[in-house]
Structure 1
Amino acid sequence: MDAVTILAFAAVSFVGIATPGPTVLLALNNGSRYGVRRAIPGMLGAVFSDFVLIGAVAVGLGALLAASEFWFSVLKYCGAAYLAFLGVMLLRSKGSLDVALAEQGGGSRSAIAIGLKSFMVAVTNPKGYLFFSAFLPQFIDPTSPQASQYLLLALVFSALDFFIMFGYAVFGSQAARFLKTSGAIWLERACGGALLALAGSLAFYRRATA
């Protein structure tokens, strides 16, 4: 795999990651609620999910989901239900700016819980498996060992993912400092509404058929 291929992969990945999705929205919300430092476990959870998804695609799970309507539907509805649950929780949040700023110093939310939430959002989304199944093979040289190539692409993708989520978390953290209490609550509710919209789109998402 040459440098041009890696740069092309990085450029396309950057655009795809930067487009707001569930894990990016969680990074924004975690940054506004807990601060950048405490949002990092969520980013790491999402990065770990990148390796899981790409590894699953490398061993053929993406192809299985593309071929099996049953398993695709199971994963799809689990993912949609989890996104909807998170969205409703954010919409019902009674938090305030003062609470958000206080928690930036180390609130009650554990790092494991923050990281697990982002991880679960990613690994229960079948669109991720299908995306990688269609996207990654375009950058894989079939005449060379594939495991090392998948690993390299996973490292590039996860590094970009972390960098972009970090940027969203910084934005959320700064927004929480400058917004009034009601503004901070509405920012959180906006993230909740976006997650609900993503849950709806996932619930009605269908596999591409030949």
Structure 2
Amino acid sequence: MTTDTLLLFILTSLLLAVTPGPTMLLALSNGISGGMRRAGWGIAGASMGSITVISAVALGLGSLMAASELLFNALRVAGVLYLVWLGVKMWRTPPPDVQAALAEQGESPQGGRALLRSLAVALSNPKAVLFFAAFLPQFIDTAQPQAHQYMVLGAIFVALDTCVMLAYAAAGTQAVRWLSKRSLQRLNRGCAAGMWALAAMLAFWRRPSV
């Protein structure tokens, strides 16, 4: 893998990471409702999910999903239902009390639940599997050992993605400080609408032909 190839991968990965997705919306919502501590748990779960997906792609799961309509649709339906459920939970969540939210930033309320939610989102999205299956091989030098290259590219992508999620979470914590309760509720419901939009896109997304 050349330096130019690596730099291109970093730039492309950063552009992809800043695009709002379900894990980014969760990071923002967690930052609003529980501060950086809860958001950190969620980010850890999302990163674990990305590492698992990239490892599975390196082992050939992406090709298997592209070839198996049953496997693809089963994971797609699970992903749609989970995103819809998360959107409902976000929509129904009352706006946080500013003082209570700021106090919670030093604690770890529902951290394990935040981790599991983000992990489930990362693992139940077949688009992520097929995306990595199509994206990563473009930067792999087939003349060299591929396992090490997948490890390097995967680590870079997860690191960049984690940094962007931290920025989303930090934006959520600042929103708690500066926005009114009604504005916070609108922002959280905006995240819920984003989840539903992503669920709708996934519902109508079809497995690429092989």
Check conservation: 1:23, 1:118, Cα contact below 8 A: yes
Check conservation: 1:97, 1:184, Cα contact below 8 A: no
Segment of structure 1 superposing worse, 38-47 or 75-84: 38-47
Q: CA RMSD of the aligned region, Å?
A: 1.3
Name the amino acid aligned to 1:18: V
Distance 2:196 2:176 in 1: 22
- TM-score, structure 2 normalization: 0.95
Equivalent residue, structure 1, for 2:101: 100
Equivalent residue, structure 1, for 2:62: 62
Equivalent residue, structure 2, for 1:30: 30
Name the amino acid aligned to 1:101: L
Unpaired segments of 5 or more residues in structure 2?
Answer: none
Of all paired residues, the percent bearing the same amino acid is 46
Q: Describe the superposition over 1:72-115 as per-residue Cα deviations: whole angstroms up to 9, x where unpaired.
A: 00000001100100000111112433343343232631x22111
Distance 2:48 2:3 in 1: 24
User: 3-state SS of the aligned residue for 2:20?
Assistant: coil
Equivalent residue, structure 1, for 2:146: 146
Unpaired segments of 5 or more residues in structure 1?
Answer: none
Q: Describe the superposition over 1:10-57 as per-residue Cα deviations: whole angstroms up to 9, x where unpaired.
A: 111111111000001111111111112331111111111111111111
For these two proteins, the number of residue pairs brought into alignment is 209
- TM-score, structure 1 normalization: 0.95
User: 3-state SS of the aligned residue for 2:49?
Assistant: helix
Check conservation: 1:33, 1:101, Cα contact below 8 A: no
Distance 1:21 1:75 in 2: 17
Equivalent residue, structure 1, for 2:78: 78
Equivalent residue, structure 2, for 1:193: 193
Name the amino acid aligned to 1:170: A
Q: How does 1:36-185 map to 2 (within 5 A)?
A: 36-98=36-98, 99-106=100-107, 108-109=109-110, 111-185=111-185
User: 3-state SS of the aligned residue for 1:35?
Assistant: helix
Distance 2:107 2:92 in 1: 22
Distance 1:201 1:102 in 2: 37
Distance 1:101 1:61, change over 3 A: same
Please report how far the alpha carbon of residue 2 of structure 1 lies from its aligned counterpart in structure 2 after TM superposition: 2.2
